[in-house]
Structure 1
Amino acid sequence: MEISLISTNPRPYFCSSTESLLFKRVKLPSWNSRTSQPLLGRPCSLFHKENLLKVKCIQKREIPVLEASSMDEVFDTLAERTLPTSAEASNPNAKHIVGLAGPPGSGKSTLAVEVTQRVNKLWPQKARSFDSQVKPPNVAIVIPMDGFHLYRSQLDAMENPEEAHARRGAPWTFDPMLLLSCLKNLRNQGSVYAPSFDHGIGDPIEDDIFVSLQHKVVIVEGNYLLFEGGVWKEISSMFDEKWFIDVDLDTAMQRVLRRHIATGKHPDVAQWRIDYNDRPNAELIMPSSKNADLVIKSIDFQR
């Protein structure tokens, strides 16, 4: 798989009608989307010097594109980008909350878990400078939006239960107010219990994920985190940084099809679910990429 990283933050470089800036090396800061200010002390290690940084002029803004040769390189790069600084680690109230969105089959869960694992692996090397006698706790954790699905009993109570179950995964089959409350508590108190999702029983598990004061990097991953309407817009405003995984929809739907079949669905049933629910949801999600600070472009290829 080949990955390109595209930052959609406005940059201080502009294109004239006569200047070609399709390829240009630039040094860019990381940005805090909540304050529109650079993340002080958090260097933009996203752009390694050995990589060619391509710059496209789109609507008078330069969009830097970093091409990586493997998924592992992307995971490592994002982990370095989100690794807490010494100042953040020593601040008990510090939290860097990342909202990771994308359509079904884009690889959100995999990316969130892999980046989190790498941050936690890198952290002890930095934490040695604080206390060499104490093993530092993990500093990164994932909150999946799946835990904020409505319960099956709630779907049963809807006007059209059959339709509600068939469309599970659509925006109205989640509880965004609960998610918003969770994020506000995390921001205000520094710790929170969040629900997970049990795919075996098909329902959330309350208070299954504990985000503690020691967790400095929290990656929240889910389909609709960058939506603009209603409660979703307020949810989006809670993130320090917003990532979106852009993927060819046919490729994503093939991944989802394989996933449905692997869980025991008949191929015809799996395809019907994609046509009726998964693809419409994906098409609804894709435009929200414009609200991201960082777009991760996923492209499959054969080695």
Structure 2
Amino acid sequence: MLEDGGRLGYVRGMTSLDELTVRARSLVRDGRRALLGITGSPGAGKSTLAEQLVALLRPAPPEGLPAGEWVAYVPMDGFHLADAELDRLGRRDRKGAPDTFDAAGYAALLRRLRDDEDEVVYAPAFERDLEQPVAGSIPVPRAARLVVTEGNYLLLDRGDWARVRPLLHETWYCDLIQDERVRRLVRRHERFGKDADTALAWTLGTDQRNADLVAATRPRADLVVPDTVLRSIGDPEATTG
């Protein structure tokens, strides 16, 4: 959503990754930095879509920009609270819920990226094998004119999360069908160490509560990425581990 009111207009869905790539590239205007948010429920394919978009965009910049560093990828997951802090707060059993992230820190990073005043901005990453955030892992150089960020709660309008959406020039919602989303989540949890029963229970419990919350934010998206597109770019859990 553009703060100056210059919305590109709500689009219900696009039918191919190529169309999405063209739309993402069009967000960069007059050399100004643009922030694109990709959201959706846990397991909806946000990371896979963001990574594929960045890979396609990097060698094909808008006219007048050099290839390469003109596009950057900054996931929201780096703002997970560390397990030690979740233990202190008594929230570790629902890790992934909105209040298990540093939402204010994420919003502050987006503001800094949007202000575009620093030669480099460092963002945290999330190490999946450790299940922990790692500070200062992702450099965003001044040359980056498009920053792609993704996470569950970009359209949430409560607490510090409400600061996020106004900082994004456009936000897309990944609309993967429920059965496939659940299947992918169970496989992901198993890959990172949970047994089959625990993986299913977590997916249908903590993850599903978060998914229901995220699904309610869908109408606030500028664009809905349909199931057909998300399936066409593959299942990230089928090619790992």
TM-score (norm 2): 0.86
The alignment-based identity, stated in percent, is: 31
Unaligned runs of 5+ in 2: 233-241
Greater fraction of residues in helix: 2
Per-residue deviation at 1:294?
Answer: 0.6
Partners of 1:252 and 1:149 in 2: CA distance: 21
From 174, 185, 202, the equivalent of 1:273 is 202
Aligned to 1:78: 20
Alignment of 1:148-159 (within 5 A): 148-158=79-89
1:119 aligns with 2:57: yes
Deviations 1:101-150 (A, max 9, x none): 10011100000011111111212x845xx7xxxx6442111111110000
Aligned to 1:237: 166
DSSP-derived class of the 2:164 partner: helix
Alignment of 1:132-147 (within 5 A): 136-147=67-78
Which shifted more, 190-199 or 221-230? Answer: 190-199
Contact 2:72 2:146 in 1 (8 A): yes
Report how many residues are paired.
228
Partners of 2:122 and 2:104 in 1: CA distance: 15
Choose between structure 1 and 2 for higher RCO, CA contacts under 8 A separated by at least 6 residues.
2
Per-residue deviation at 1:227?
Answer: 0.4
Contact 1:84 1:216 in 2 (8 A): no
Cα 1:240–1:265, aligned 2, differ >3 Å: closer, same or farther? same
Unaligned runs of 5+ in 1: 1-31, 45-61, 69-73
Partners of 1:151 and 1:121 in 2: CA distance: 35
Greater fraction of residues in strand: 1
Per-residue deviation at 1:64?
Answer: 5.2
Aligned to 2:104: 177
Partners of 1:180 and 1:215 in 2: CA distance: 18
Aligned to 2:239: none
DSSP-derived class of the 2:124 partner: strand
Per-residue deviation at 1:99?
Answer: 1.3
Partners of 1:234 and 1:297 in 2: CA distance: 26
Aligned to 2:39: 101
From 214, 218, 222, the equivalent of 1:289 is 218
Contact 2:24 2:36 in 1 (8 A): no
DSSP-derived class of the 1:284 partner: helix
Aligned to 2:236: none
TM-score (norm 1): 0.69
Alignment of 1:10-21 (within 5 A): none
Per-residue deviation at 1:200?
Answer: 1.9
Contact 1:99 1:220 in 2 (8 A): yes
DSSP-derived class of the 1:121 partner: coil
Partners of 1:248 and 1:136 in 2: CA distance: 35
Aligned to 2:187: 258
Partners of 1:260 and 1:85 in 2: CA distance: 35
